[in-house]
Amino acid sequence: MKKEIQKIIAEALKMMQEEKILSAFDFKEIRVDLNSRLQFGHYSSNIAFVLSKRLNKSVDEIASIIIKNIEGLDEGQYFEKIEVKNGFLNFFLSSKILFKNFRKILKQKTNYGSRPINNKKVAVFDYSSPNIAKPFGIGHLRSTIVGYSLYTLYKFLGWHAVGDNHLGDWGTQFGKLIYQLKTKVLVDKTPKEQKQILSQITIQDLEKLYIDFHREAEQNPLLEEEGRKWFAALEQGDKEARRLWKFCVQVSMKEFDRIYGLLGVKFDYVLSESFYENKLKNVLKELQVKKLVTPSEGALIFDFSPLSLPPALVLKSDGATTYFLRDLTALKYRLDHFKPKLIVYEVGMDQKLYFEQLFEAAQRLGWLNGVKLVHVAHGLVRWPEGKFSTRKGLTIHLEEVLEEAQKKALTIIKASATGRGFSLKQQKLVAQKVGIGAIKYNFLSYHYASDIIFDWERILNLDGNSGPYLQYTLARCFSILDKGAKIKQDKRYSVNLSNDKFLIHPLELTLLSLFVKFEDILEEASEQFAPHLICNFAFQLAEEYNRFYQELPILKAATPEAQGFRLQLTMATNYLLQICFSLLGLEVLKKM
């Protein structure tokens, strides 16, 4: 819709050019915005303001010329009216357009707004990417959820999306861990005993070893040296180091997969940092040939001067490879292998500078040729007291958070009228879907860059902007449609929508007006990498639908037309909410 309005404005400006009121003008400058409040129309534009400055005329004068031109072109097809307020042109769409869109939703159902896949438009999404043997913290949870939602959205919009989990399965932490295993766990044990012990080690044990290492290293800095040595052994292919490394990866991966299963998150690839091990050399060589690295105190660095970016470490002084070099190599591989137009990294804000370095390096290497690289840098997740921290062992483990969510959801379900009718098994199943959905939705409902204060009240609030509230509203739609379907057999369930002259209630109009924005919301969410815009929309739709439901009889409407129309409004709401759910990864519950 936004693009249509831009086009119409462009036509009106062309008329001004013909009348010699306006000279050369770049039509890309025409901005059209969605209005959140209907009293100012569905869309608005600042174009009259922009032109008034340029042409040295009053806004009102320009506005009236544009409006006159549009009205001449449009003849009431698109717009019911166009108003000028505070320098803005406010566009009120005609009911004809609103109904046309409404019919389209009813026809296309949950495919409404989707686009057929275009294999030339490839986008790679790097999300989750936890580190093995370090805790899978709440920040990784945020990356997992936001990244996967973006991946899903791009797919829906016709992109060939590639999801890759850049697992941190290489690096100095493995040296530390191997040292711990060797000296604390496996020391003085026969091979048979070792096997027995290893088979019982969990990811929590590995995390604890890692945390203990750092605690001890504070007292005894020599430990760091031991860790370095073991990592060097690993990189040089030492058999024992490899064996223990593999073991750690397997233990962790099993756990991560369980969490991904619980969250309903998928990847196309888990290429992992270790995948690039044998490809690092070529990139290193290219860096040297292009004279982009310089020796510094035995190490090798990428110097970004004259930019004020600090240098990046490419190789450490002991020859160990770095996260940066592995990332550069991964980037090169993705460019060559997937031929993307876009690569999105969903990684915490604490790596902002790092990604600036990475992107700048790729640019200087001459790799990009217009490929867009984006760091979707998410903010912190805090408890009301402070940040989650991994090293100090203060992490509130993901597992606990997810379990707590399900427990709390179960209490709510047991207290609800419908929920009481479920068997305990059903209650638990619903609680899982509600609890996990609540966390996911909560994370998605913030702009990715904002900090999140973890707040159970908000997460599970049945009357607010929360997953459970939306699930509840969608279940309501299902139940009404279910009852409505019985009426359908009475043959009263049909309305001739081409006759859109019948009187529409303002609450019905509000729903139609929300529907018409949906495609633009998806577009904006994808352009801005901002799933929270979809949350906002879904929440607004749910609120307006509930208001409509409270105020107006649906199944008991006075006329068959009104009844049919309201059922169809329910149906369209149901479709749009279902689309939002699939983009946000919320489970649909028909009863709640």
Q: Which residues of 272-286 are buried (b: 16+ CB within 10 A; e: fewer)?
A: bbbbbbeebeebbeb
For residue 321 the two structure tokens come to 């490879």
Q: Around 205, how many Cα atoms within 13 Å sit in the side-chain half-sphere?
A: 14
Least distance between ligand ARG and beta carbon 550 (Å):
46
Element (H, E) at 119: strand 118-126
Vertex 388: Cα angle to 385 and 390 (nearest 5): 145
Kindly tell me which of 133 and 402 has the beta carbon lying closer to ligand ARG. 133
Which residues of this chain interact with ligand ARG, rule CB under 6 A?
A: 126, 129-131, 166, 168, 327, 330, 345, 347
> Minimum distance from CB of 347 to ligand ARG (Å)?
4
Of the pair 103, 382, the CB lying nearest ligand ARG is at: 382
Ramachandran class of 366: left when φ > 0, alpha when ψ lies in -120 to 50, beta otherwise:
left
Q: Which residue number is nearest to ligand ARG in terms of Cβ?
A: 168
Residue environment code for 292-323, b if the CB has 16+ CB neighbours within 10 A, otherwise e: ebeeeeebbbbebeeeebeebbbbbeeebbbb
Instruction: State which amino acid sits at residue 464.
Output: G
Handedness of CA 186, 190, 195, 200 (dihedral sign): negative
* Least distance (Å) between residue 299 CB and ligand ARG: 20
d(CA 313, CA 323): 9
Q: With respect to ligand ARG, which residue has the nearer C-beta, 277 or 523?
A: 277
CB of 166 to ligand ARG, least distance (A): 4
CA–CA gap between residue 248 and residue 270 (Å, rounded): 16
Nearer to ligand ARG, 25 or 367 (CB): 367
Sign of CA dihedral 382, 383, 385, 389: negative
Cα torsion 35, 105, 96, 551 to 10°: value is -70
On the question of a cis peptide bond just before residue 384, with omega within 30 degrees of 0, the verdict is no
CB of 287 to ligand ARG, least distance (A): 18
CB 495 within 8 A of CB 561: yes
DSSP state, residue 168 = B
Q: Taking the complex as a whole, how short is the minimal distance between the CB of residue 135 and ligand ARG, in angstroms?
A: 10
Shortest reach from residue 314's CB to ligand ARG, in Å:
15
Is residue 550 exposed (0-12), middle (13-18) or buried (19+ Cβ within 10 Å)? Answer: exposed
Helix, coil or strand: residue 432: helix
* CB closer to ligand ARG out of 147 and 419: 147
What is the distance between the alpha carbons of residues 175 and 231, in angstroms, rounded to a whole number? 4
Match 């340029």 to its residue by tokens. Answer: 54
| Least spacing, CB of residue 388 vs ligand ARG, in Å | 13
CA dihedral 570, 575, 577, 583 (to 10 degrees): 180
Task: Provide the token pair at 549.
Answer: 């439901």
Nearer Cβ to ligand ARG (330/512): 330
Q: List, in sequence order, every beta strand (DSSP E) within 442-531.
A: 452-453
Shorter beta-carbon distance to ligand ARG: residue 42 or 326: 326
Between 135 and 564, name the residue whose CB sits nearer to ligand ARG: 135
CB of 360 to ligand ARG, least distance (A): 15
Rounded CA separation 330/338 (Å): 11
Provide the minimum distance between the beta carbon of 355 and ligand ARG in the complex, in angstroms, as a whole number: 8
Compare residues 47 and 314 and give the one whose CB is closer to ligand ARG. 314
Measured from the CB atom, is 235 or 327 closer to ligand ARG? 327
State the DSSP code for 171: S
Residue 278 CB, nearest approach to ligand ARG (Å): 18
CB of residue 302 vs ligand ARG: minimum separation in angstroms? 15
Facing residues of 163 across strands? 125
**Which residue number, 155 or 375, has a Cβ lying nearer to ligand ARG?**
375
CB-nearer residue toward ligand ARG: 155 or 166: 166
> Token digits for 401?
């958070």
C-beta of 284 vs 460, nearer to ligand ARG:
284
Q: Is 153 helix (H, G, I), strand (E, B) or coil?
A: helix
Rounded to 10 degrees, what is the CA torsion of 434, 440, 442, 445?
-130
Q: How far is the CB of 393 from ligand ARG (least distance, A)?
A: 17
Distance CA 387, CA 349 (A): 13
Q: How far is the CB of 125 from ligand ARG (least distance, A)?
A: 11
13 token code pair: 């400006």
Look at residue 130 and give its three-state secondary structure.
coil
For ligand ARG, the closer CB: 45 or 172 = 172
Under 8 Å between Cβ of 138 and 396: yes
